[in-house]
């Protein structure tokens, strides 16, 4: 009840008694008045929370931790450039970390090769209107990713909104810029973000230095696309801007100092660091990271090369962790023991793997996003993506540190020749450690600074898994569905590269249930934090939600592990039906290879069909490898059922697609053709319909790759 109401009631009750007539009456009245005032002023005049109380619980070393957590002096990028003596800013908008990594690499190379003083800047760290204040003498470079249906990354949202709100009145006559986009041509709106940004900047009078670069990740071409654009950028530097290329040796941006006096408790030993504090939208979407227990794991199917895990995760006593049906579980993986040992051995750090290291940026704007103090082992296991392929750029640069002439010649040749590099990568599992070991077998790379490894190897990124359970049915225990499949090398199919996070989860599952052999991991985690089958994880909100009304019909399309959120949807509708709620019709189009081999949750879906009523739920399978039958994919089955699907969509059904982007693109084509045939629409009309249902959240996709 409202405190002011209580006070008024008390005063009213006192008034009924009349005026105080004795010292005891006066004392009682005073006591009531004082207590009422004290209650109302709690937290204002007394019992105020100490704003610095949290400092008692912080480790002293956190003041030297992530650079992104430090207080930012200004949100005006023009002021920042002036204050720091910089003449170029590289803005990055990144969802998975790739664009961020490219921005920092480019910043370092611009400085080393052309003497530019560069800030690599998170777009959310600066007010977008201050971009107009960047003087003509300075450069701006945009490295922007596109994901989903042409969406900007979370940290680009503020800049994106500003561009659209001010599209007709942008004035950027002094801005000289270049732009590079990261996208995937499997998506309809390939590289839409960089295209929209470039168009808006041009309309505002900005001057583009060279054509917009675009990377296509549909065939793994992002790195080569970036290198080609970077060569054009540097040609522009030399020929149009008059910058002189310098032949400088490697110049570190980090200092790394051993400090054996530090105790293990002082170190960042592997606990994940929370996301950028400045990135408010991203932080708001993701819960705190916690060590969550995997209480059970079960193989839904298993073949010689492909497995599928159903894992159940306990939210336990973490009251702040709550999920809703359709959300994602964010998993923070670790590198396998073998990769760590190979790299430590090549660098001659096996005896110093646990030595405390202090890491600091030589100057602001450098790529220091690593924790300090820490150790080489913790960096390699928890913070760097040492299991990722090495870029051709990095291979070329490594030649200068080679311990033997043969290694130097090999790396220089691979770095120069795109074809030779492609063939080498296609035949060899090329991680940073394996590359060093293969180029100079048995040798120690004594001249290779650890700072180069930290600057070059990308940060280890979390992975996202659709939650395959309903929060209505199981609010404190969630499930994920994990496909475990090694990727064979293009030119050496006998060698397969294990997926980093899927293999890690399979190893955790192996301690719970018999499983195929997987790489070895330090499953106990840093300081034993993951003992008891735990993983570092968080919950990320999603827009992939069931309709508000259970009576709304839904059409679901999935292939492989894309079935995960639909298991949750069906679970929830079955529970609602069990308590007497009316549920709308559900049709699930699901694609896999064979009915008896890789159809997860088939028994559960059959039970759900009975529970909700046979006329309410139907599964339409598509088998691409069924013996004696032609290949059929989900888009083929939708085409066969076009009239029924169109009628459902016309009757307010919500459409959901989950799986690979290529599948989603083919499904969209079939649906557009079906609606054109059903209604006699032309291309413009079907496009307007599609855009309309997407704006109304009646067409939702959760796709990848």
Enter the tokens of residue 268.
Answer: 């960042």
Q: What is the side-by-side strand order in the sheet with 699-704?
A: 617-623, 586-592, 554-559, 654-660, 699-704
Where is 210: in which H helix or E strand?
A: none
Give dist(CA 301, CA 603) in Å, integer. Answer: 13
pLDDT tens digit string along 407-419? Answer: 999 999 999 999 9
Beta carbons of 226 and 99 less than 8 angstroms apart: no
Asked, for residue 301, whether it belongs to a domain, the answer is: no
pLDDT for the residue numbered 304: 56
User: Residue 46 gets which letter from DSSP?
Assistant: B
Beta bridge partner(s), residue 555: 587, 655
pLDDT of residue 129: 95
Cβ contact 555:648 at 8 Å? yes
- Which structure tokens are listed for 644? 């029924």
Cα 699–275–536 angle (5° rounding)? Answer: 90
Using CA atoms, how far apart are residues 539 and 467, in angstroms rounded to an integer?
9
Q: Which of 184-188, 325-329, 470-474, 491-495 has the lowest mean pLDDT?
A: 491-495
User: pLDDT value at position 688?
Assistant: 95
Q: Which helix (H) or strand (E) holds 586?
A: strand 586-592
Question: Tokens representing 608?
Answer: 């759900």
Token pair listed for 64:
């030297």
What are 143's two structure tokens?
């490295």
For the cut 70, the answer to whether the pLDDT of residue 17 exceeds it is no
**CA 505 – CA 510 distance, rounded (Å):** 8
Higher pLDDT among residues 519 and 474, named by residue = 474
In a domain, 82, yes or no: yes
Distance CA 590, CA 620 (A): 6
pLDDT interval class at 53 (50, 70, 90): very low
CB-based contacts of 258-264 (< 8 A; 24+ apart in sequence): 258/352, 258/355, 258/356, 258/357, 258/358, 259/356, 259/357, 259/358, 259/373, 260/355, 260/356, 261/356, 262/356, 262/373, 264/527
- Whether 350 is in a domain gets the answer no
Structural domain boundaries enclosing 16: 3-40
DSSP conformation letters of 591-653: EES-TTTS-TTHHHHHHHHHHH-TTTEEEEEEESS-TTS----HHHHHHHTHHHHHHHHHTTP
Q: Which residue has the tokens 């917009």?
A: 212
Q: 377: closest CA among 422, 298, 433? A: 433
Q: Is the pLDDT of residue 248 over 60?
A: yes
Position 511 scores a pLDDT of 75
CA dist., res. 233 & res. 209, Å (int): 8
pLDDT at 22: 52
Q: Which tokens go with 49?
A: 């929370």
Half-sphere exposure of 164 (CA within 13 A, CB side): 8
CATH label of the domain that carries residue 317: 2.40.30.10
DSSP-derived secondary structure letter, 87: S
Q: What is the mean pLDDT of residues 349-361?
A: 95
Please state which of the ranges 260-274, 300-314, 417-431, 509-523 shows the lowest mean pLDDT: 509-523
3-state secondary structure of 359: strand
pLDDT at 206: 96
Helix, strand, coil % (nearest 5) of the chain? 40, 20, 40
Q: Which residues contact residue 470 at a Cβ distance below 8 angstroms, ignoring those fewer than 6 apart?
A: 325, 568, 569, 571, 572, 575
Q: Which residue has the higher pLDDT, 86 or 284?
A: 86
Are both 318 and 467 inside the same structural domain? yes
C-alpha to C-alpha distance for 24 and 21, rounded to whole angstroms: 8
What is the distance between the alpha carbons of residues 12 and 25, in angstroms, rounded to a whole number?
A: 15
Distance CA(103)–CA(111), nearest Å, equals 12
Higher pLDDT, 594 or 450: 450
| 616 within some domain | yes
Summarised one tens digit per residue, pLDDT across range 102-154 is: 998 899 899 888 999 999 999 999 999 999 999 999 999 999 999 877 889 98
Among the residues of 483-633, which ranges form H helices?
Answer: 500-510, 564-578, 602-612
The pLDDT assigned to 267 comes to: 94
- Between 29 and 654, name the one with better pLDDT: 654
Integer Cα distance of 42 and 144 in angstroms: 48
pLDDT tier at 32, thresholds 50, 70, 90: very low
CB–CB of 387/335 below 8 Å? yes
What kind and span of H or E run contains 352? none
**Phi and psi at residue 569, in whole multiples of 5°?**
-60, -45
Question: Within a domain: residue 88?
Answer: yes
Tell me the helices (H) and strands (E) count for the chain, helix number first.
22, 22
524 and 574: one domain? Answer: no
Same domain (yes/no): 159, 204: yes
- 172 and 205 in a single domain? The answer is yes
Task: Give the mean pLDDT of 524-538.
Answer: 96
- Residue 315: per-residue pLDDT: 97
For residue 514, name the pLDDT band (cuts at 50, 70, 90). Answer: low
- The token duo for 70 is 């430090």
Q: How far apart are CA 245 and CA 64, in angstroms?
A: 35
Determine the longest span between alpha carbons in the chain, in angstroms: 106
Q: How would DSSP label each residue in 144-178?
A: EEEETTTEEPGGGHHHHHHHHHTTTT---TT-EEE
Q: Are 597 and 675 within one domain? A: yes
Q: State the DSSP H helix or E strand holding residue 193, giving kind and residue range, or none if neither.
A: helix 192-203
Per the CB < 8 A criterion, the answer to whether 566 and 556 are in contact is yes
CA-to-CA distance for 415 and 397, rounded, in angstroms?
8
Inter-residue contact 584 to 554 (CB < 8 Å): yes
Question: Which of 540, 573, 590 corresponds to the end of one domain?
Answer: 540
Does residue 321 carry a pLDDT above 60? Answer: yes
Q: Which of 515, 540, 565 is the last residue of a domain?
A: 540
Q: What is the pLDDT of residue 677?
A: 95
Position 423 in a domain: no
Report d(CA 324, CA 315) in Å as an integer.
Answer: 13
Rounded Cα gap, residues 26 and 42, in angstroms: 24
Burial class (CB in 10 A: 0-12, 13-18, 19+), 423: middle
Does 264 map to a domain?
no
Query: Are 170 and 207 part of one and the same domain?
Result: yes
Residue 698 — pLDDT band, cuts 50, 70, 90? Answer: very high
The tokens for 77 are 């990028």
Two structure tokens written together for 278: 């400045």
How, if at all, do strands 477-485 and 306-314 pair?
antiparallel
The tally of CA atoms less than 13 A away on the side-chain side of residue 419 is: 0
> Residues 189, 235: one domain?
yes
pLDDT band of 273, cuts 50, 70, 90? confident
Question: Are 518 and 569 in the same domain?
Answer: no
Contact 492, 416 (CB under 8 A): no
Dihedral of CA atoms 557, 563, 567, 569 in degrees, nearest 10, equals: -40
State pLDDT tens for residues 145-171.
998 778 899 899 999 999 999 988 999
Q: Which of 239, 270, 285 is the last residue of a domain?
A: 239
On average, the pLDDT of the chain sits at: 86
- Looking at the structure of the chain, the number of domains it has is 4
Asked if residue 279 is part of any domain, the answer here is: no
Q: Does one domain contain both 97 and 226?
A: yes
Look at residues 97, 170, 175, 95 and name the one whose alpha carbon lies nearest to residue 133: 175
Tokens 């065939």 found at: 219
If asked whether residues 228 and 324 sit together in one domain, one would say no
Strands 699-704 and 654-660: parallel
pLDDT at residue 628, as a whole number: 86
pTM of the model: 0.82
Paired strand residues for 658: 558, 702
In the predicted model, is pLDDT for residue 94 greater than 50? Answer: yes
Q: What is the pairing mode between strands 328-332 and 463-466?
A: antiparallel
Q: What is the CATH number of the domain that holds 605?
A: 3.40.50.80
Same domain, 644 and 692: yes
- Do 224 and 139 reside in the same domain of the chain? yes
Q: What is the rounded average pLDDT of the residues 309-323?
A: 95
Can you give the three-state secondary structure of 115-146, one letter per residue?
A: CCCEEEEEHHHCCHHHHHHCCCCCEEEEEEEE
What is the average per-residue pLDDT within 638-651?
97
Structure tokens at 169: 């009145």
- DSSP-derived letter for residue 457 is S
Q: Read off the pLDDT of residues 542-580 as tens digits, 9 standing for 90 and up.
A: 999 999 999 999 999 999 999 999 999 999 999 999 999
């Amino acid at each position: 009840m409202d405190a002011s109401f209580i006070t008024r009631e008390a005063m009213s009750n006192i008034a009924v008694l009349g005026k105080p007539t004795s010292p005891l009456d006066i004392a009682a009245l005073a006591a009531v008045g004082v207590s009422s005032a004290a209650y109302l002023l709690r937290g204002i005049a007394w019992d105020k929370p100490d704003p610095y109380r949290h400092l008692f619980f912080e480790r002293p070393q956190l003041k030297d931790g992530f650079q992104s957590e430090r207080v930012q002096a200004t949100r005006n990028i023009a002021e920042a450039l002036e204050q720091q003596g910089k003449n170029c800013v590289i803005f990055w908008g990144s969802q998975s970390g790739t664009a961020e990594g490219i921005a920092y690499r480019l910043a370092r190379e611009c400085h080393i090769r052309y003497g530019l003083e560069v800030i690599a800047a998170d777009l959310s760290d600066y007010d977008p209107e201050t971009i107009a204040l960047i003087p003509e003498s300075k450069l701006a470079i945009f490295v922007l990713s596109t994901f989903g249906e042409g969406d900007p990354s979370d940290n680009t949202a503020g800049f994106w909104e500003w561009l659209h709100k001010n599209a007709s009145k942008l004035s950027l006559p002094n801005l000289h810029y270049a732009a590079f986009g990261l996208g995937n041509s499997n998506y309809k709106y390939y590289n839409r973000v960089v295209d929209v940004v470039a168009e808006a900047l041009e309309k505002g009078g900005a001057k583009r230095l060279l054509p917009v670069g675009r990377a296509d990740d549909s065939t793994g071409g992002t790195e080569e696309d970036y290198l080609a654009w970077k060569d054009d950028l540097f040609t522009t530097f030399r020929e149009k801007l008059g910058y002189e290329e310098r032949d400088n040796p490697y110049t570190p941006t980090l200092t790394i100092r051993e400090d054996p006096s530090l105790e293990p408790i002082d170190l960042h030993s592997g606990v994940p660091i929370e996301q950028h504090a400045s990135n408010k939208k991203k932080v708001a979407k993701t819960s705190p990271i916690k060590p969550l227990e995997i209480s059970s794991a079960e193989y839904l199917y298993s073949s010689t090369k492909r497995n599928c895990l159903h894992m159940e995760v306990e939210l336990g006593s973490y009251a702040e962790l709550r999920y809703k049906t359709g959300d994602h579980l964010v998993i923070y993986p670790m590198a396998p023991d073998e990769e760590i040992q190979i790299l430590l051995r090549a660098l001659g750090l096996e005896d110093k793997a646990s030595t405390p290291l202090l890491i600091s940026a030589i100057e602001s704007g450098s790529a220091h996003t690593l924790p300090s103090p820490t150790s080489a082992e913790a960096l390699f296991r928890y913070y760097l993506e040492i299991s990722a392929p090495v870029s051709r750029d990095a291979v070329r640069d490594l030649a200068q540190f080679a311990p033997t002439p043969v290694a130097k010649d090999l790396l220089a040749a691979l770095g120069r020749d795109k074809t030779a590099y492609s063939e080498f990568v296609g035949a060899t599992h090329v991680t940073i450690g394996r590359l060093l070991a293969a180029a100079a077998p048995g040798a120690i790379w004594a001249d290779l600074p650890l700072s180069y490894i930290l600057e070059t190897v990308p940060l280890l990124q979390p992975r996202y898994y659709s939650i395959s359970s309903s929060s209505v049915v199981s609010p404190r225990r969630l499930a994920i569905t994990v496909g475990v499949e090694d990727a064979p090398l293009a030119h050496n199919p006998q060698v397969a590269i294990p997926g980093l996070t899927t293999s890690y989860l399979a190893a955790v599952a192996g301690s719970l249930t018999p499983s195929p052999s997987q790489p070895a991991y330090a499953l106990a985690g840093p300081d034993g934090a993951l003992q008891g089958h735990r993983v570092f994880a968080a919950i990320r909100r999603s827009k992939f939600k069931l309709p508000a009304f259970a009576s709304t019909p839904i059409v679901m399309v999935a292939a492989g592990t894309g079935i995960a959120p639909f298991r949750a949807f069906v679970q929830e509708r079955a529970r609602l039906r069990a308590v007497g709620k009316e549920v709308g019709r559900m049709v699930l189009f699901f694609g896999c290879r064979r009915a008896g081999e890789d159809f997860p949750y088939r028994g559960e879906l059959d039970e759900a069909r009975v529970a909700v009523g046979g006329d309410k739920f139907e599964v339409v399978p598509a088998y691409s490898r069924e013996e004696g039958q032609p290949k059929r994919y989900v888009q083929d089955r939708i085409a066969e059922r076009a009239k029924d699907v169109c009628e459902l969509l016309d009757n307010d059904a919500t459409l959901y697609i989950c799986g690979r982007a290529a599948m989603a693109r083919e499904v969209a084509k079939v649906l557009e053709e079906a609606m054109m045939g059903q209604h006699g629409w032309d291309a413009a009309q079907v496009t307007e319909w599609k855009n309309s249902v997407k704006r109304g959240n009646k067409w939702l996709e959760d796709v990848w790759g």
